[in-house]
Structure 1
Amino acid sequence: MILTVDHVTTYSYDTAMGASVQSLRLFPSRFSGQREIDWHVAVEGGIRGGEFRDGAGDKVESWSVRPPVEEVVVTVRGQIETIDTAGVLRGHRELVHPMAYLRETTATWIDEGLSKLAAEAVADCTETLDCAHRLSAAVSEAISYEPGTTDAHTTAAEALAQGKGVCQDHAHALIAVARAHDMPARYVSGYLFATEDGAPHEAAHAWTEIWIEGMGWIGFDAANSCCPDDRYIRLGSGLDANEAAPIRGITQGGSEERLNVTVALEQVQQ
């Protein structure tokens, strides 16, 4: 499948701010499931800085905007060819050992509710891959997908307690219950073209990867009860949403910040 991406993120301020520095993880991962045809990332009026690949294999690029800053606009436009690998992350080069992803964060801290969910989901499970599928299914059932019911700071435990959330919450919850069984798990950010039945979906998306010994990293999208296929574009990963954030930055000043994001994905006829 060939997909085009048009992603614009705008930060606006009531009063002019000082200099702004952005760290962008907005570049397609290099693995056998996707091939970059054309990809451009830019910050309007910004100055491109250095770039590097981190230990997880993700490309990171820095940008700066000179003062006065009234608005920061980050644009991503590109075209990607995707291939269905049944969720398996084949051919991805990285240096971080999988065991590093057993660390907890505030967002993925496991409480009594998550511990109970993790235990019940794999009570009679003996095979690791089957356990991962069962944990994903359990999270899907326990947390219904309801946009607007959580925010960026909601933890996995809080989302489970209220029984609803968005893809970020599903990803955090699955990471937590996987780690409860000593299965390394991480948060993945990217794009989703459409749901499995073809219905349009909120294009900016997140899911989970779980390390399966002998197979490597395998993706699980608990929000949509499936494994990532050719409808998905993978960008980057981290211990949680904060670490895997496609855009991180800082702007000097005390003005209130407003955020507007538009993402559009289209399939190119082949």
Structure 2
Amino acid sequence: MHLLVRHVTRYRFDPPIEHGLQRLRLHPKETHGQTIRSWSMEIAGGKAECAYDDHNFNQVSLISIPPGTEELTITCTGEVETSDRVGLLGKHGGRLPLWAFRAQSPLTKPGPKMKELAAAAARDNDGGDALALLHGLSRAVVEAVDYAPGHTDVATTGEAALAAGKGVCQDHVHVFIGCARALGVPARYVSGYLMMNDRVEQEAGHAWAEAHVDGLGWVGFDIANGICPDARYVRVASGRDYAEAAPVIGINLGETESTLTVSLAVEQQAVQQ
């Protein structure tokens, strides 16, 4: 599938910013089932200082925002060729050992609710294999946490979202990977794009999980939609939780308030004969 992506992130600062730094993970990389045909990132109101691959092999760009800036705009456009691998990513790679993805983070650490959910998934699996356990856990998470934007933010823990019974795809992922780790399964957070079947324009990117299964390697689980990622997905960054895979993380100096707007379009391009 040939996908076209246009992602615009715009910050407005009031009063103008004194100084700012942004860490961007907005450049997808080649991986199993994904080939980058073209990708560009344009920055207005800031300056690209350096780029590097982090410990998760994400491509990271650091940009500075000079004093007096009123608006910062980051525009990413690209073409990505994808194929359906029924969620299979293959063997583990990267600079972190596999055991690091069994360790909980502050966003995924289970409390009573998540421990109860994990234990129930294990009982329901009744001796089944790891893949069946994870599919059952995925179903249990989306049944326990209704998709409801506006009730959580980037600092909301999986335990808090589960206790509230409301959240978005980010919260589904944190609950899933926290419970999977509690059951001894390495799991990680993935940020990227999903081509929707009913529209091109979207309000935000997407998030899903990957869990490591013996004999298969990393397997993707889109908990919010109840499926494994297919050719409609563009994988951009991964990490132990949202903080390690977030598209944009920034630090602003001075007494300023920022307003964020996002414009995203993901569509399929017909293959030229």
Question: Does TM-score exceed 0.5, indicating one fold?
Answer: yes
Would you say the 8 A contact 2:91–2:216 is kept in 1? Answer: no
**Structure 1 range deviating more: 1-10 or 153-162:** 153-162
In structure 2, how many angstroms separate the alpha carbons of the residues matched to 1:5 and 1:115? 38
In structure 1, how many angstroms separate the alpha carbons of the residues matched to 2:192 and 2:205? 6
The alpha-carbon deviation at position 199 of structure 1 amounts to 3.1
In structure 2, how many angstroms separate the alpha carbons of the residues matched to 1:149 and 1:125? 36
Which residue number in structure 2 is paired with residue 263 of structure 1? 264
SS, match of residue 245 in structure 2: coil
Paired amino acid for 2:198: A
Structural mapping, 1:15-34, within 5 Å: 15-34=15-34
Structural mapping, 1:89-238, within 5 Å: 89-90=89-90, 93-123=93-123, 124-194=126-196, 198-200=197-199, 204-238=205-239
Paired amino acid for 1:9: T
Would you say the 8 A contact 2:84–2:231 is kept in 1? Answer: yes
Paired amino acid for 1:55: H
Paired amino acid for 2:165: G
Spell out, residue by residue over 1:6-27, the C-alpha distance to the aligned partner (whole angstroms, 9 max, x if none): 1111111111112222211111
Paired amino acid for 2:156: T
In structure 1, how many angstroms separate the alpha carbons of the residues matched to 2:48 and 2:27? 15
Equivalent pairs counted in the alignment come to: 267
Would you say the 8 A contact 2:18–2:253 is kept in 1? Answer: yes
Spell out, residue by residue over 1:36-78, the C-alpha distance to the aligned partner (whole angstroms, 9 max, x if none): 1110112214322221112212111112232211111111111
Q: RMSD of aligned C-alpha atoms?
A: 1.6
Structure-2 change in CA distance of 1:9 and 1:202 (3 Å)? closer
Spell out, residue by residue over 1:191-238, the C-alpha distance to the aligned partner (whole angstroms, 9 max, x if none): 1111xxx33465510011111122211110110000111111001011
Unaligned runs of 5+ in 1: none
SS, match of residue 89 in structure 1: strand
Unaligned runs of 5+ in 2: none
Paired amino acid for 1:264: A
TM-score (norm 1): 0.93
Paired amino acid for 1:187: Y
Structural mapping, 1:68-107, within 5 Å: 68-90=68-90, 93-107=93-107
**Structure 1 range deviating more: 84-93 or 252-261:** 84-93
